[in-house]
Chain A
Amino acid sequence: MRVTKEQILATAALCRLDLAANGEEAAGSLAGLAAQLDNVIRYMDILNNMDTDGVQPLYSPLQHPQPPRSDTAEKTRTAAEIIANAPEREGNFFVVPPVI
């Protein structure tokens, strides 16, 4: 198996997902998840069948010029409007859990 449970957990830590949060039930689904991702990653290996020697990677299909916009300030939304969706707020500040 290419993708092990341990690798999945290490990857999950990188992207801040807690896959083992629900104890034993999660352990079973973790094995299933590892098998699913292993299946997908194995399929990705067909990329190696294409010869890409000397080929430059393509990260965007855009072939046309993208005009920059003028650097001018614009009044859009108020702080109150923006902060209205905050899960926790105090005045115009976002409240977050302790950082250190």
Chain B
Amino acid sequence: MSAPLHSLTLIEAGDRMARGTVTPSALVDACFARIAQTEEKIHACITLCEQEARAAAAAMAGINPDPAKALWGIPISVKDVICTKGIRTTAASRMLEHFIPPYDAFVVRRLKEAGAIITAKTNMDEFAMGSSTEFSAFFKTANPWDTTRVPGGSSGGSAASVAAGQCFASLGTDTGGSIRLPAGLCGCVGIKPTYGRVSRYGAVAFGSSLDQIGPIARTVKDCAQVLSVIAGCDPKDATCCDVPLQDYVGATGRTGLEGLTLGLPVEYWREGLSAETERVCRAAVDTAVKLGATVKEVSLSGPAYSIACYYVLASAEASTNLARFDGMRYGLRAGGKDLSACYKASRSAGFGPEVKRRILLGTYALSSGYYDAYYEKAAKVRRRITEDFAAALEHCDALLSPVSPVTAWELGSMVEDPLALYKMDILTLGVSLAGLPAVSLPAGLGPDSGLPVGLQIIGRAFDEAGIIGIAAALENTLPKLGEPKGI
């Protein structure tokens, strides 16, 4: 019996449409049938775009796929922090609960131009602040592998929707690990591109020196296909660099790792890893060696510095970015007799607890008397962290580490302890601070928990093709995870 349509890879779905054995409408039907089957258990989506998706698919009926359109007829979900014209974009916040963007984000425009069909806006931690998707103002998302556990965050709805077969790929955003962590915990592939590789025009800003948009999908090649569509220079994002694109899909043809040197940052393998995470990731390193790679230990700044550095800088940037939400031009207005009272009332009612904590932390770090001790100090530490990565990547083609120290944890187990939750990002934050690209690749299932373990492959700036090639070679050889067991 052939596999159900919802479990095809994006590439397989495209091939079938090219052969004329399946239509965009059939794929859209399969995705919404899967949403109907699984959404009650995982709560991955804030807004379903069923009417629009069915209309887009119907408009493609009887037309041959356009080979110039890399995502023709492919159902894709989009994190609800990325603006979609005419479809509400909430950032999972009461503040933007009724906000309907009058324009598409650059990446959404690119998806549409490539023929993709948007199925849903996915759940996330409010304004992308969180590691578990428990800080959505609307509801928590559950992990398709075990619905008593978190999917990771902040792009948890995107990863859960892909793992559950609700779509063939999703766009997430990554400020400190928000693509890599949920991809890792849900058994998906995620790519956080180099800072400057993908335009952020139309993404609700959180930490402007850190935010990047990237794909989450079920295979490396699927991710590469989406990245090839969304990457590129955009005059509307001044931080988007005019650096030549690589052949990301072509890079997935790599089968061996001969001639490559892969670094293992000792500090990222040293402490805090669960036994099963270490075991599965070490086995993936052994696989890399069998495929011909040379592996050597390298040294980076301790990842604890990254946590402190990141939470100072990202919170400071968030506190300034979120100053725009004042209840005047768009978003929630909560009354108040004068302008100042209205600002306070609107912001107090519109933001949830984690967002308020980060705004307070950022404001504190930027305030008179603390600026030098926290903000400027953190920016200096950031340079040291960045230089350490650059030095390691001079002698290594890529670096390998686990994505997270543990597999998916129980829902609710850390919500009252922000610092414990911040530490779940310990292995992803340094990469964000240095602006480097990284792939989160399923390395296997933990023998104790039966849950996915992610391997992080970190590359040189703007060398996404390099890490995609390594990920593809490993993916061919590493154990397949199979279908999620919780749905």
Contacts and interface: CB of A to CB of B under 8 A. Distances in A.
Nearest to B101: A85
Contact of A59 (B307, B336, B379): B379
A27 interface: no
Given A47-B312, A87-B331, A61 B209 contact: yes
Contacts of A66: 196, 238-242
Contacts of B382: 57-58
Please classify the interface of chain A as helix (H, G, I), strand (E, B), loop, or mixed, using the class held by over half of its residues. loop
A69 B235 contact: yes
Interface in A52-79: 52, 55-70, 76-77
Contacts of A77: 102-103
Nearest to B304: A46
Given A15-B363, A50-B305, A57-B379, A84 B311 contact: no
Contact of A84 (B102, B308, B342): B102
B234 to A, nearest CB: 9
B145 interface: no
A79 B312 CA distance: 38
B60 interface: no
A52 B384 contact: yes
Given A46-B308, A57-B380, A97-B336, A40 B361 contact: yes
Nearest to B379: A57
Contact of A47 (B238, B340, B378): B378
Contacts of B235: 67, 69-70
A17 interface: yes
A60 B239 contact: yes
B383 A17 contact: no
B363 A47 contact: no
Contact of A58 (B103, B312, B357, B383): B383
Contact of B418 (A12, A36, A49, A98): A36
A97 B345 CA distance: 12
Nearest to B330: A85
B257 to A, nearest CB: 27
B361 A21 contact: no
Interface in A9-56: 11-12, 14-19, 21, 33, 36-37, 39-41, 43-50, 52, 55-56
Interface in B364-399: 364-365, 367, 374, 376-384, 386
A61 B434 contact: yes
B147 interface: no
Contacts of B241: 62, 64-66
B404 to A, nearest CB: 19
B55 interface: no
A88 B342 CA distance: 13
A90 interface: no
Interface of B: 98-100, 102-103, 195-196, 209, 233, 235-236, 238-243, 301, 304-305, 307-309, 311-312, 319, 323, 326-333, 336-345, 347-348, 351, 356-357, 359-361, 363-365, 367, 374, 376-384, 386, 417-419, 422, 433-436, 461-462
14 contacts: A11-B360, A17-B347, A18-B344, A21-B345, A44-B374, A47-B309, A47-B312, A55-B383, A60-B239, A64-B461, A66-B239, A68-B238, A85-B331, A96-B342
Interface of A: 3, 7-8, 11-12, 14-19, 21, 33, 36-37, 39-41, 43-50, 52, 55-70, 76-77, 81-82, 84-88, 94, 96-99
